[in-house]
């Protein structure tokens, strides 16, 4: 049996077992509790689910073996991997394709399912019915089975061979057993450690949204409309942490790898996960108060359904091809959009029916919620979070709206707002200003620090934060109203939450998770405010030269137009406070810690190895000898750019461009990290160091001593010609005669000397050693000496001097954002652990009670 | 007495609900107002003549010559690193010069269909953003195996 057959068989097997588990759990749920058969069905269902989980792990293992073993006869391995990749990037190959990412999702759900079965016996049957059904839907996505006679395909399998994936392709008719020698390779942007851990985290978050949903469905089904909260709450918190961490990792990856110049660009793909995350956060706040407040309970029911459905909706958005012209992330339709829609609607309908059935059974509030109660403030916070997510999902869904209108024969040509960043920021900024303020007030009410009717209890933190904000606004030069509002709100959240931790909880770490999380959010907002709102483009064209008289250049509003600067090799250029010099292209040898000049090695064409042209020495240590073959990252070119600060400090950055034959050019920034800011640089145009240089046709000059002449627009002076004893690369015997010319070349800011040599040996053989100056792009050869006229002749070739076009941006206080994210995650984890502990206590007590 | 208490209670919650609905409607209306449109050069030209300053999306194709070079593409970083020009054919087969005031996007040569976002000037379309569709990158369209086979032979 081939690997592909094995994988495909395991997929079918896991699909069948998930259906079996669903059915068996359904039977167990439908039987009355005292029926002896319940245990039998449960045991059977459990077994089915365990086998299912094992099969899912087997499917993933098979695919990884195919990728890791370079089985390029399989389409998936061919299109996502290549021989040059190290093993950890082969993990990224696994989830680069859509099928692989579905598998990752299935894998996490299988693992979580096993944990749930083992930890919660009370809810097992109804909850796992829903759970296994979802798992069956998900498994069907990679089924790849064609229903005979109907020509209808269910799912898309990653286990197709190239021949199966490309039926009737001409090259296969020539050679049916054709196996490509190497794969297409991994998208260079994904060759980053964040891409090894970001997708698994995000999909764990996706999988986790199912857990509270399944508990809720079970609760509604068994008419336990309040009881589902306790087991679901810790899982909702965990969903919030993991999904949040996944999203933030994605943002950090974008910042480090993509030259989008930002960690967040409000792309539909990003929005599609941001929205369900906000809903999860809103849900966990209403769940905390749901036992005391019926409105919050009803809201929690709706939000838990919404977060799960929104994850399905986001999957639909990003994988159905519906975003089409709206997103840079162009996912194509694998023919799964119909299936995804079915999946989406099936669960909307199931959830709606179950909810409507028991809606009347839910309690209702007898008294009006007091403004002085914690319930009121938490509910407000959740509402604003929902509104914030609503504001994002509406514009993101514009392509869906167009499709719906067109499906009914109408015409809708709406496009998403043109400047996504400023559009979404305009709204989200105010929402978050309100949310952070509520996070502070909410904590005060939560810990009963405000007595009834005495709002003035809040005055101390208000005064302190107004004072701090005023200082920050004045000295930070914050001059825009929305920024002032956001800053003041964030400072208030910082002050009030810190006061709570110190004053009320006295550092009791178990219960301070909420306050710590809120502090994290406030810090993040402050970091975002400065790093995005007050980022500064360093690479402005400071030369003051008018580039062209075209109207763009004379117009005022052409800022973007000047934000990229051209740097000539070796020629220092002033930009802002820095003096920038481009030092040339560099290459990365896999086992050498620093980048080395491209001229040190010769890359073997079409391979990831290179031959050393000299000893590779960094500092004291010699890593490789001349002539050694070394493994390199052949596709990557790093451009060494030196930044000299006014105080003389020098920093070197190596922004990267990848020249990938199959995928085109890909640029990634390099970031100089300082305590108070990041200097973020990326190359927008760079030359390919692998391409052969083209020299101009030879130009001959005949000049006398001290003559001035023009070579390729440079002023050159022949300063001297003198005898020399040593010529590098030529062994001179005592009878040989060698002379060296000194040619001074004047460039804009500095002088260069080019010293070509001319040698004659005893047999009157002439040797002319040319000298190349890369900075000037000149090659000069000493041709002959004419003693009669006292003139010397030189042959000169020139080439385009190497250059790069780059953009550099300063991002102040970005570290506050990263610190905020860490604080947020820590606080969140603390709350999650606390709620899991509470759940366990109650559960164990419950079991004891049953025994009695 | 009791009844009036309940009715005020209802009122408060209703007012809260109404505010939320009002904000939601406001969001939808503002989305409609700030949405751009998928358009073509002819419409973009008309809009510009009317003095409309909002930006539009134009979907178009790049024409390539026999060597696979994109027709009308001009980028000379030495002259001006921040100006890139090319010709674009919109869905109605109207050809216009597009000017992008930034360096040439890295993937441009591999693109076939692009979306340009901007507005029409006198005789060219000035765009601030280009969305590219590169057939080789994420999609699973019929892969080009030519290179691999040539190597084998």
Same domain, B64 and B78: yes
User: Is residue B125 assigned to a domain?
Assistant: yes
Distance (Å, whole) CA A598 – CA A686? 14
Residue B3 pLDDT greater than 60, yes or no: no
Condensed to tens digits (0 to 9), the pLDDT of residues A430-440 reads 999 999 999 99
Same domain, B31 and B48: no
At CA A314, angle to CA A308 and CA A315, rounded to 5?
A: 95
Question: Tokens 């179950």 map to which residue?
Answer: A354
Condensed to tens digits (0 to 9), the pLDDT of residues A224-260 reads 999 999 999 999 999 999 999 999 999 999 898 876 6
C-alpha of A694 from chain center: 38
Backbone φ and ψ for A524, nearest 5 degrees, come out as -60, -45
Residue A510 pLDDT greater than 90, yes or no: no
Hey, what are B89's tokens? 């054919």
User: Is residue B143 assigned to a domain?
Assistant: no
Same domain, B42 and B103: yes
At CA A490, angle to CA A389 and CA A530, rounded to 5?
A: 90
pLDDT score for A576: 75
When pLDDT is averaged across residues A711-728 and rounded to a whole number, the result is: 82
pLDDT score for A102: 93
- Which chain B residues are within 8 Å of A180, Cβ to Cβ? 145, 148
For the purposes of burial, counting CB atoms within 10 Å of the CB of A654, is it exposed (0-12), middle (13-18) or buried (19 or more)? Answer: buried
Nearest CA in chain A to B145: A171
Highest average pLDDT, of A480-484, A715-719, A841-845, comes from A480-484
The answer to whether A471 and A465 have CB atoms below 8 angstroms apart is no
Same domain, B3 and B59: no
- Which chain A residues are within 8 Å of B32, Cβ to Cβ? 414
User: Is residue B113 assigned to a domain?
Assistant: yes
CB pair distance less than 8 Å for B32 and A417: no
Q: Measured between CB atoms, which of A325, A383, A800 is closest to B38? A: A325
CB pair distance less than 8 Å for A387 and B139: no
Q: Specify which residues B36 forms β-bridges with.
A: A415
Complex confidence, ipTM: 0.78
When pLDDT is averaged across residues A149-178 and rounded to a whole number, the result is: 78
- Which chain B residues are within 8 Å of A684, Cβ to Cβ? 81, 102-103, 106
C-alpha of B12 from chain center: 44
Which residues fall within 8 angstroms of residue A609, CB to CB, at 6 or more apart? A603, A629, A630, A631, A632, A634
CA distance A279 to chain B (A): 15
The answer to whether A793 and A741 have CB atoms below 8 angstroms apart is no
Over pLDDT 70: what percentage of chain A?
92
CB pair distance less than 8 Å for B101 and A558: yes
CA end-to-end distance (rounded Å), chain B: 96
Condensed to tens digits (0 to 9), the pLDDT of residues B130-149 reads 887 655 433 333 333 322 22
When pLDDT is averaged across residues B47-51 and rounded to a whole number, the result is: 84
Residue A222 DSSP symbol: T
Classified as helix, coil or strand, A812 is strand
pLDDT score for A193: 85
Residue A653 pLDDT greater than 70, yes or no: yes
Condensed to tens digits (0 to 9), the pLDDT of residues B63-76 reads 888 877 888 888 88
- Total number of domains constituting chain B: 2
Q: How many beta-carbon pairs below 8 A join chains A and B?
A: 159
Same domain, B65 and B90: yes
User: Is residue B145 assigned to a domain?
Assistant: no
Give the residue among A280, A16, A304 at the shortest CA–CA distance from A132: A16
When pLDDT is averaged across residues B117-127 and rounded to a whole number, the result is: 86
Q: Measured between CB atoms, which of A79, A413, A561 is closest to B101? A: A561
- Residue-by-residue DSSP string for B114-138: EEEEEEE-SSEEEEEEEEEE-TTTS
Q: How far is CA A614 from CA A590, A617, A640, A773, in A?
A: 17, 9, 20, 19
pLDDT score for B146: 29
When pLDDT is averaged across residues B114-141 and rounded to a whole number, the result is: 72
C-alpha of A423 from chain center: 22
Residue A605 pLDDT greater than 70, yes or no: yes
When pLDDT is averaged across residues A28-38 and rounded to a whole number, the result is: 83
Nearest CA in chain B to A417: B35
Same domain, B30 and B103: no
CB atoms within 10 A of CB A503: 11
CB pair distance less than 8 Å for A552 and B27: no
Q: How far is CA A61 from CA A3, A56, A339, B144, in A?
A: 10, 9, 25, 28
When pLDDT is averaged across residues A29-54 and rounded to a whole number, the result is: 90
Nearest CA in chain B to A606: B151
When pLDDT is averaged across residues A277-306 and rounded to a whole number, the result is: 94
Domain of residue B48: give its range: 38-133
User: Is residue B65 assigned to a domain?
Assistant: yes
Same domain, B25 and B86: no
Q: How far is CA A205 from CA A299, A325, A471, A597, B73, in A?
A: 22, 28, 40, 43, 45
Min mean pLDDT across A146-155, A186-195, A278-287, A609-618 is at A146-155
Q: How far is CA A817 from CA A474, A499, A671, in A?
A: 21, 21, 16
Q: How far is CA A608 from CA A82, A629, A631, in A?
A: 11, 10, 6
pLDDT score for A662: 63
Classified as helix, coil or strand, A257 is helix
Give me chain A's average pLDDT, please.
86
CB pair distance less than 8 Å for A552 and B20: no
User: Is residue B67 assigned to a domain?
Assistant: yes
Q: What is the CATH number of the domain that holds B83?
A: 2.40.50.140
Interface test with B, best of A161, A386, A418 (most B CBs within 10 A): A418
CA distance A118 to chain B (A): 40
Q: Specify which residues A679 forms β-bridges with.
A: A672, A810
Nearest CA in chain A to B117: A418
CA end-to-end distance (rounded Å), chain A: 56
Hey, what are A385's tokens? 């979070």
Same domain, B80 and B14: no
pLDDT score for B147: 28
Give the residue among A266, A258, A328 at the shortest CA–CA distance from A671: A258
The answer to whether B83 and B99 have CB atoms below 8 angstroms apart is yes
CA distance B111 to chain A (A): 10
Nearest CA in chain B to A418: B36
* pLDDT-derived band at A848, boundaries 50, 70, 90: low
* pLDDT-derived band at A279, boundaries 50, 70, 90: very high
pLDDT score for A218: 96
| Beta strands, E only, A92-171 | 145-147, 152-154
Which residues fall within 8 angstroms of residue A749, CB to CB, at 6 or more apart? A571, A572
The answer to whether B117 and A418 have CB atoms below 8 angstroms apart is yes
CB pair distance less than 8 Å for B99 and A558: no
pLDDT score for B140: 37
Backbone φ and ψ for A629, nearest 5 degrees, come out as -100, 130
pLDDT score for A328: 56
pLDDT score for B9: 52
Hey, what are A18's tokens? 């998930």
Residue A549 pLDDT greater than 60, yes or no: no
Q: Furthest-apart CA pair in chain A: how many Å?
A: 122
Distance (Å, whole) CA A358 – CA A249? 40
- Which chain A residues are within 8 Å of B70, Cβ to Cβ? none
User: Is residue B5 assigned to a domain?
Assistant: yes
Same domain, B103 and B61: yes
Distance (Å, whole) CA A78 – CA A71? 8
Classified as helix, coil or strand, B48 is helix
CB pair distance less than 8 Å for A685 and B142: no
User: Is residue B149 assigned to a domain?
Assistant: no
Same domain, B48 and B10: no
Between residues A819 and A649, the one the model is more confident about: A819
Distance (Å, whole) CA A38 – CA A847? 18
pLDDT score for A799: 82
Q: How far is CA A730 from CA A12, A614, A733, in A?
A: 72, 17, 10
CB pair distance less than 8 Å for A416 and B139: no
CA distance B150 to chain A (A): 10
Interface test with A, best of B16, B73, B82, B83 (most A CBs within 10 A): B82
Over pLDDT 90: what percentage of chain A?
41
The answer to whether A219 and A225 have CB atoms below 8 angstroms apart is yes
Distance (Å, whole) CA A360 – CA A351? 15
Same domain, B14 and B68: no
CB atoms within 10 A of CB A684: 25
- Residue-by-residue DSSP string for B53-83: ---EEEEEE--B-TTSPBTT-B--TTT-TT-
pLDDT score for A806: 85
Distance (Å, whole) CA A247 – CA A241? 10
pLDDT score for B108: 79
pLDDT score for B11: 65
Same domain, B42 and B92: yes
Condensed to tens digits (0 to 9), the pLDDT of residues A471-503 reads 999 998 888 999 999 999 999 999 999 988 887
pLDDT score for A635: 80
pTM: 0.87
């Amino acid at each position: 049996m081939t690997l592909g057959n094995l994988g495909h068989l395991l997929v079918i097997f896991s699909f069948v077992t998930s259906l079996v588990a669903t059915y068996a759990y359904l039977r167990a749920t439908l039987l009355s509790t005292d029926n002896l058969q319940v245990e039998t069905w449960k045991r059977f269902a459990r077994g089915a689910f365990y086998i299912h989980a094992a099969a899912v792990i087997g499917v993933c293992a098979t695919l990884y073996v195919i990728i890791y073993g370079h089985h390029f006869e399989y389409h998936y391995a061919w299109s996502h991997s290549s021989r040059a990749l190290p093993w950890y990037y082969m993990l990224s190959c696994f989830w680069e394709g859509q099928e692989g990412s579905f598998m990752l999702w299935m894998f996490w759900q299988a693992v979580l399912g096993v944990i749930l079965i083992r930890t919660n016996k009370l809810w097992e049957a109804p909850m796992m019915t829903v759970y296994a059904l979802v798992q069956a839907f998900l498994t069907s996505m990679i089924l790849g089975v064609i229903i005979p006679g109907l020509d209808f395909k269910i799912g898309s399998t990653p286990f197709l061979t190239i021949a199966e994936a490309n039926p009737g392709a001409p090259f296969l008719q020539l050679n049916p057993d054709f196996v490509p020698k190497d794969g297409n390779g991994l998208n260079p942007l994904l060759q980053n450690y964040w891409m090894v851990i970001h997708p698994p985290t995000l999909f764990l978050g996706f999988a986790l949204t199912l857990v509270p949903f399944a508990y809720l469905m079970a609760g509604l089904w068994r008419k336990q409309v309040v009881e589902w909260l306790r087991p679901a709450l810790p899982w909702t918190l965990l969903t919030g942490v993991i999904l949040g961490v996944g999203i933030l990792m994605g943002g950090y990856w974008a910042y480090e790898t993509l030259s989008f110049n930002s960690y967040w660009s409000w792309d539909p793909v990003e929005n599609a996960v941001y929205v369900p995350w906000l809903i999860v956060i809103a849900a966990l706040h209403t769940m905390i108060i749901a036992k005391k407040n019926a409105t919050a309970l009803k809201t929690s029911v709706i939000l838990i359904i919404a977060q799960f459905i929104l994850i399905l909706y986001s999957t639909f958005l990003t994988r159905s091809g519906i975003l089409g012209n709206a997103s840079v992330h162009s996912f194509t339709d694998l023919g799964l959009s119909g299936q995804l829609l079915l999946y989406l609607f099936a669960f909307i309908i199931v959830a709606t029916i179950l909810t409507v059935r028991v809606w009347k059974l839910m309690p209702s509030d007898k008294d009006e919620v007091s403004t002085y109660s914690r319930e009121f403030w938490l509910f407000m916070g959740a509402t604003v979070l929902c509104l914030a997510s609503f504001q994002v999902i509406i514009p993101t869904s514009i392509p869906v709206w167009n499709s719906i209108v067109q499906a009914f024969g109408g015409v809708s040509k709406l496009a998403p707002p043109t400047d996504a960043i400023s559009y979404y920021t305009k709204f989200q900024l105010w929402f978050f200003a309100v949310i952070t303020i509520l996070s502070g007030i909410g904590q005060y009410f939560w810990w009963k620090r405000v007595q009834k009717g005495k709002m003035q209890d809040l005055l101390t933190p208000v005064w302190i934060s107004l004072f701090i904000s005023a200082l920050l606004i004045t000295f930070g030069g914050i001059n825009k109203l929305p920024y002032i509002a956001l800053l003041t709100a964030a400072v208030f959240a910082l002050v009030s939450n810190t006061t709570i931790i110190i004053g009320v909880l006295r550092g009791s770490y178990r219960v301070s998770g909420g306050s710590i999380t809120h502090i994290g959010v406030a810090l993040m907002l402050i970091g975002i405010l400065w790093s995005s709102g007050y980022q500064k483009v360093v690479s402005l064209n400071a030369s003051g030269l008018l580039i062209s008289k075209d109207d763009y250049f004379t117009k005022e509003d052409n800022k973007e137009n000047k934000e990229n600067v051209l740097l000539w090799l070796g020629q220092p250029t002033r930009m802002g406070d820095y003096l920038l010099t481009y030092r040339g292209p560099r290459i990365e040898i896999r086992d050498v810690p620093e980048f080395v000049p491209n001229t040190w090695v010769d890359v073997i064409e079409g391979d990831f190895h290179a031959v050393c042209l000299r000893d590779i020495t960094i500092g004291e240590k010699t890593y490789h000898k001349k002539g050694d073959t070394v493994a390199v990252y052949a596709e990557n070119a790093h451009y060494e750019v030196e930044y000299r600060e006014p105080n003389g400090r020098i920093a070197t950055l190596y922004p990267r461009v990848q020249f990938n034959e199959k995928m085109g050019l890909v640029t990634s920034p390099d970031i100089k990290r300082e305590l108070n800011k990041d200097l973020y640089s990326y190359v927008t145009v760079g030359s390919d160091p692998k391409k052969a240089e083209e020299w101009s046709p030879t130009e001959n000059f005949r000049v006398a001593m001290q003559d001035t002449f023009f070579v390729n627009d440079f002023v050159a002076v022949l300063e001297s010609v003198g005898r020399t004893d040593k010529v590098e690369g030529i062994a001179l015997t005592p009878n040989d005669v060698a002379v060296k010319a000194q040619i001074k070349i004047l460039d804009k800011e500095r002088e260069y000397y080019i010293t070509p040599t001319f040698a004659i040996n005893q047999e009157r053989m002439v040797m002319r050693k040319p000298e190349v100056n890369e900075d000037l792009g000149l090659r000069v050869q000493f041709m002959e000496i004419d003693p009669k006229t006292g003139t010397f002749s030189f042959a000169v070739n020139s080439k385009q001097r190497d250059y790069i076009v780059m953009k550099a941006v300063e991002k102040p206080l970005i570290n506050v954002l990263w610190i905020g994210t860490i604080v947020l995650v820590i606080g969140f984890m603390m709350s999650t652990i606390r709620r899991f502990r509470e759940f366990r206590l109650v559960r164990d007590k419950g079991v004891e009670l049953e025994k009695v | 007495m009791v009844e009036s208490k309940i009715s005020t209670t209802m009122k408060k919650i209703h007012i809260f609900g109404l505010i939320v609905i009002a904000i939601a409607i406001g969001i939808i209306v503002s989305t409609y107002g700030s949405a751009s449109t998928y358009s073509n050069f002819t419409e973009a030209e008309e809009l510009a003549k009317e003095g409309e300053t909002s930006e539009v999306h134009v979907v178009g194709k790049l024409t390539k010559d026999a060597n696979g070079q994109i027709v009308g593409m001009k980028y000379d970083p030495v002259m001006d690193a921040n100006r890139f020009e090319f010709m674009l054919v919109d869905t109605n087969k109207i050809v216009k010069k597009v000017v992008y005031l930034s360096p040439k996007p890295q993937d441009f040569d591999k693109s076939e269909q692009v979306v340009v976002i901007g507005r029409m000037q006198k005789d060219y379309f000035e765009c601030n953003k280009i969305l590219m569709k590169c057939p080789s990158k994420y999609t699973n369209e019929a892969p080009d195996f030519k290179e691999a086979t040539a190597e084998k032979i």
